[in-house]
């Protein structure tokens, strides 16, 4: 295919994309992400043989299959993470949150634990959670399942594959790595592949947090929704957290990113138990 120089992204075109992205994903780009949008979409515009960003916008909205919208949201999503990111959350989960839920469930003869990792990205976070579970409790006799979701099909594909470069494990002990991952050397580069034991606890699904209604039948004991609300405006954040709390057990725990805060009436439904960490009370 012959390559050609695309025209600059016009303000009117940027506005169209920004409105579409906000409507479909809740991601709020504001007025200063022109270069991000241009660089993320220009390759696709060339691949399709289109001559302008306006043509690409029309291509997306006229695609009846919805697959091009998925591609667009994949392109705009930022997926940067690593194992045990914001480690204090996992320390709390292992030492206080999980023992608390285990005690409460055991007292009533309920040995079911449900977890939702609502912004699973490329899988480092859900696998970290499972490692914490296996390292801190005897899972025999317990029914433990995690739902791990993300809007990005590209990120989820990597999560399901479960193969990671060595630099994703900064600060993780070699013992933990060897226990839960198999080393692979590919073209002279070191990778680590998730062992089946970790995967057995997790169901990966594509999920858009902007759905008006969540389809879950039961509630979760833990919800991790970290480092995704920073892309939303305050109204969207508040609406999302209310929906999350509706599917969190009373006494269950909500983890958000350290750069994120809860706003408005949401605060009345939780108590603060740590930095960016809340327990549902109503």
Q: What is the pLDDT of residues 195-233, one digit of tens each?
A: 999 999 999 999 999 998 999 999 999 999 998 888 888
**Residue 78 scores a pLDDT above 70:** no
Residues 34 and 131 in one domain: no
**Residue 18 scores a pLDDT above 80:** yes
Residues 19 and 153 in one domain: no
* Longest pairwise C-alpha distance within the chain: 68
Does 183 map to a domain?
no
Does 131 map to a domain?
yes
Q: What is the CATH number of the domain that holds 122?
A: 3.40.50.150
Residues 208 and 235 in one domain: yes
Question: Which of 19, 43, 76 is a domain's end point?
Answer: 76
What pLDDT is attached to residue 214? Answer: 95
Residues 254 and 224 in one domain: yes
Does 185 map to a domain?
no
**Residue 46 scores a pLDDT above 50:** yes
Across 9-25, average pLDDT: 91
More confident position, 280 or 189: 280
Does 109 map to a domain?
yes
Residues 267 and 218 in one domain: yes
Does 206 map to a domain?
yes
Question: Which of 46, 76, 106 is a domain's end point?
Answer: 76
6 band by pLDDT with thresholds 50, 70 and 90 = low
Residues 55 and 159 in one domain: no
Residues 69 and 209 in one domain: no
81: Cα within 13 Å, side-chain hemisphere: 25
What pLDDT is attached to residue 264? Answer: 83
Across 97-101, average pLDDT: 98
More confident position, 30 or 132: 132
**Residue 2 scores a pLDDT above 60:** no
1 band by pLDDT with thresholds 50, 70 and 90 = very low
Mean pLDDT taken over the chain: 92
Pairing of strands 112-117, 220-225: parallel
High-pLDDT (> 70) share of the chain, %: 97
Does 143 map to a domain?
yes
High-pLDDT (> 90) share of the chain, %: 68
What pLDDT is attached to residue 43? Answer: 86
Q: Which domain holds residue 16?
A: 11-76
Residues 116 and 236 in one domain: yes
Question: Which of 42, 76, 110 is a domain's end point?
Answer: 76
Indicate the number of domains in the chain.
2
Residues 262 and 128 in one domain: yes
In angstroms, rounded to a whole number, what is the distance separating the alpha carbons of residues 172 and 184? 17
More confident position, 80 or 28: 28
**CA pseudo-torsion sign 36, 74, 154, 240:** positive
Across 92-101, average pLDDT: 98
- Residues designated as active site: 40, 150
Which tens digits make up the pLDDT trace of 142-191? 999 999 999 999 899 999 999 999 989 988 999 999 999 999 988 888 99
In angstroms, rounded to a whole number, what is the distance separating the alpha carbons of residues 132 and 142? 15
Q: What is the CATH number of the domain that holds 64?
A: 1.10.155.10
Does 28 map to a domain?
yes
């Amino acid at each position: 295919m012959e390559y050609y120089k695309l025209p600059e992204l016009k303000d009117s075109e940027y506005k169209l994309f920004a409105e579409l992205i906000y409507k479909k994903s809740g991601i709020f780009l504001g007025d200063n992400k022109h270069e991000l949008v241009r660089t993320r979409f220009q390759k696709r515009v060339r691949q399709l043989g289109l001559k302008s960003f306006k043509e690409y916008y029309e291509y997306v909205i006229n695609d009846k299959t919805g697959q091009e919208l998925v591609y667009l949201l994949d392109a705009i999503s930022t997926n940067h993470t690593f194992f045990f990111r914001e480690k204090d959350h996992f320390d709390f989960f292992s030492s206080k949150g999980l023992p608390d839920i285990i005690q409460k469930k055991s007292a009533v003869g309920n040995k079911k634990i449900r977890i939702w990792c609502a912004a699973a990205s490329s899988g480092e976070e859900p696998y970290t959670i499972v490692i914490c579970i296996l390292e801190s409790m005897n899972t025999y006799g317990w029914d433990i399942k995690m739902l791990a979701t993300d809007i990005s099909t590209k990120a989820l594909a990597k999560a399901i594959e479960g193969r990671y470069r060595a630099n994703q494990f900064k600060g993780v002990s070699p013992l933990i790595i060897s226990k839960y991952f198999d080393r692979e050397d590919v073209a002279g580069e070191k990778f680590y592949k998730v062992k089946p034991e970790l995967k057995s606890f997790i169901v990966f699904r594509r999920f858009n947090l902007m759905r008006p209604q969540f389809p879950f039948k039961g509630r979760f004991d833990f919800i991790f929704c970290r480092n995704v609300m920073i892309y939303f405006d305050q109204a969207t954040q508040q609406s999302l957290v209310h929906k999350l709390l509706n599917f969190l057990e009373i006494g269950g725990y909500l983890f958000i990113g350290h750069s994120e805060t809860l706003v408005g009436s949401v605060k009345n439904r939780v108590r603060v138990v740590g930095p960016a960490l809340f327990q549902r009370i109503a």
